[in-house]
Chain A
Amino acid sequence: MKQNKSGQLPCCGGNFIALCICCLVLFFSNYTAQAEEVFVTVKRGTPATVPTSRYVLSAIFGMRLTTWPDGSAIRVFVLPDDNHTHSLFCKQILQIFPHQLRTAWDRLVYSGTGQAPEVLGSELELRTRIANTPGAIGYLTKENLDESVAILPVE
């Protein structure tokens, strides 16, 4: 496509402007990709309404803290280890690396001392499950946020 467009450049001013717009759009979409922000999201009405500390979130996503303050079960949803958003979430919010989280889950699962979180295929699926599961927690990038879920502020 690019080759076609650059081929048309000398003869058509309109196309040139269109190309410029395309470039600008590309530039900004790249820019937003770099500044992508991940938000911890919970089901609306979850008993966790106060800002949560990073170390508490680490315990929740590390599957060691399994109940909300009211005693109800926490249900953790994540994306696969090699997913870009998962990686962003690990680094931005928990400040750990995906392989460390996987190691922590393996230790629980294969020693009978805990369970692993539910791994879902896409952010859309993640949003749907968070919105519809009591006690759910997960994460979403800004563009996938909507009214169906609530953001959990991080301290």
Chain B
Amino acid sequence: MNQLPFSQLNNLSASLKCHVRHSQPMAIKALIYYLLFLPFGMQGKAFELFDSVQVHGFASQAMFLTSGNNMFGPSISNPGFDFTELGINGSWLPLPNLRLSMQILSRRDGAWSNGSPVLDFGLMDYSYNFTSDYRLGIRAGRVRQPYGLYNDTRDVAFTRPSILLPQSIYYEGTRDFTISADGLLAYGEIRKPWGNLNLELFGGYARTDNKETQYSFIQQTYYGTLASDPGFVGRLSYETYDGALRLALSGAYTSMRYKPNPSGDNLPRGNIGFDPILISAQYNTEKWTFSSEYSYNFFSNSGFGPPLDFSTNGESYYFQAAYRFAPKWELMGRYEAYYPNVDDESGKAFHQKYGQPAYTQFAKILTLGLRYDITPWMMVRAEYDYTNGTALLTPQSTLNAQTGNPDYFNTVQYWNTFGFLVSFRF
């Protein structure tokens, strides 16, 4: 490019201005660009690089006040604030078809998380448009698992229909396991007047070595580690070109191995398999959004011996409506249900066999929420949940102070949650 220094400066200032929404403080933005992309800039051609660099971020804080059961941390009678999300991401297009992007996330969701930053995604994406109608591409690195309507952006409160995603499908206890994984993702897209057809196929390793995943699958604290075997996740989605109708079919085949601690363990080597199928549908009008997802999953433990060895099929679904009744305002309502064992939806058999309460074997939740977008970059949300059952209570919400383990005897069947969330983004 034979640009004069002056026009390069223009380009720079223009690109600095570009993604600022309204009264976003310019100085902060410029500082972030400067800090994050100084290394690129020093390799020469600095100003041309700036044009294809974008930086975005978000911050959310939730408050929960509950009756009966805690939410993430202590929240009964007195409000709990143990839920914070902070994220910053950058993407850069060194070539029109090649993109590098990365997101760092800091998250607090109860006793097991201290908010230390983790790599949420970090990937290289190459795609090729054969004509304007066909595209093929590949992503390598830590990528988002293609799963359902909301998994792609589940940490960004602005993109969620409620304070948390519907737990029946996007359970917080298995969040790390579901959100992003290390491997390769191939995708293809067909765009036609009748709509867009998208196929994404991922192969690689899920993020299993964390407490939540261990507790969610083997229900206790052990000294060993959970390692992921190669797994596959795929999504076939259809969308009318105007985005009014969205349909998707997702599925995953995952397998994990428990590796006992060599210096002594009370649990032998064992295998865990979890294979969900998810059907998703959404319909959008100017004022309304209707969404529903249904999941059926196959779960099995083997090698541990009784009582941990068992296999069950689970089922979950939700129906949700959002109504934008005035500019900046949105009202939402949802009913959802989850049954970890379709052969024992009442939990009676489970109670007889293990003595634990029957209501740990289901969750039925009714949610009512109100969202107000104060500005395009600041949003508040208030929400009320009425819950029957504890099957979707995260393990870290039921910790017994003495044992440090989840304690389902100390829970109640019917409980209320009042939530409030404030979120920013740029």
Contacts and interface: CB of A to CB of B under 8 A. Distances in A.
Interface of A: 53-56, 58-59, 62, 64-67, 69, 71-73, 80-82, 94-97, 99-101, 103-104, 106-107, 109-116, 118-120, 129
B101 interface: yes
Interface in B83-103: 87, 89, 91, 93, 96-97, 99, 101-103
Given A55-B192, A110-B89, A119 B152 contact: no
A80 B56 contact: no
B132 A56 contact: yes
Given A67-B96, A115-B91, A100 B284 contact: yes
Interface stretch (B27-35, B121-129, B388-396): B121-129
Nearest to A65: B132
Interface size band for B: 35 or more
Closest A-B pairs by Cβ, 10 of them:
A118-B18, A73-B96, A112-B101, A111-B152, A55-B241, A110-B153, A96-B242, A100-B243, A112-B121, A58-B241
Given A82-B327, A99-B324, A69 B132 contact: yes
A65 B129 contact: yes
A118 B50 CA distance: 13
Contacts of A101: 243
Best-surrounded residue of A69, A113, A129 (most CB of chain B within 10 A):
A113
Given A55-B241, A100-B284, A118-B18, A65 B56 contact: no
A54 B21 contact: no
A111 B18 contact: no
30 contacts: A54-B241, A55-B192, A56-B191, A58-B241, A58-B242, A64-B196, A66-B97, A66-B129, A67-B96, A69-B132, A71-B97, A96-B243, A100-B242, A100-B284, A104-B243, A106-B153, A107-B153, A109-B56, A110-B159, A112-B89, A112-B91, A112-B102, A112-B121, A113-B144, A113-B152, A114-B91, A115-B54, A116-B19, A119-B19, A120-B17
A128 B28 CA distance: 26
A95 B376 contact: no
A110 B93 contact: no
B385 interface: no
Given A106-B153, A107-B153, A97 B19 contact: no
B139 interface: yes
Nearest to B123: A112
Given A65-B129, A112-B143, A95 B54 contact: no
A106 B91 contact: no
Interface string B114-134: 000000011101010101110
Contacts of B286: 97
B99 A115 contact: yes
B349 interface: no
Given A56-B133, A64-B196, 18 more contacts: A54-B241, A55-B191, A58-B242, A59-B132, A65-B129, A66-B97, A95-B242, A101-B243, A110-B156, A111-B152, A112-B89, A112-B101, A112-B103, A112-B121, A116-B19, A118-B18, A119-B21, A120-B18
A99 B91 CA distance: 23
B20 interface: yes
Interface string B234-262: 00000001111000000000000000000
Contacts of A120: 17-18
A76 B153 CA distance: 22
A81 B22 CA distance: 10
Best-surrounded residue of B58, B97, B152, B244 (most CB of chain A within 10 A):
B152
Interface in B1-48: 14-15, 17-22
B26 to A, nearest CB: 12
A18 B99 CA distance: 61
Contacts of A62: 243
B242 A94 contact: yes
Contacts of B132: 56, 59, 65, 69
B96 A71 contact: yes
A72 B97 CA distance: 9
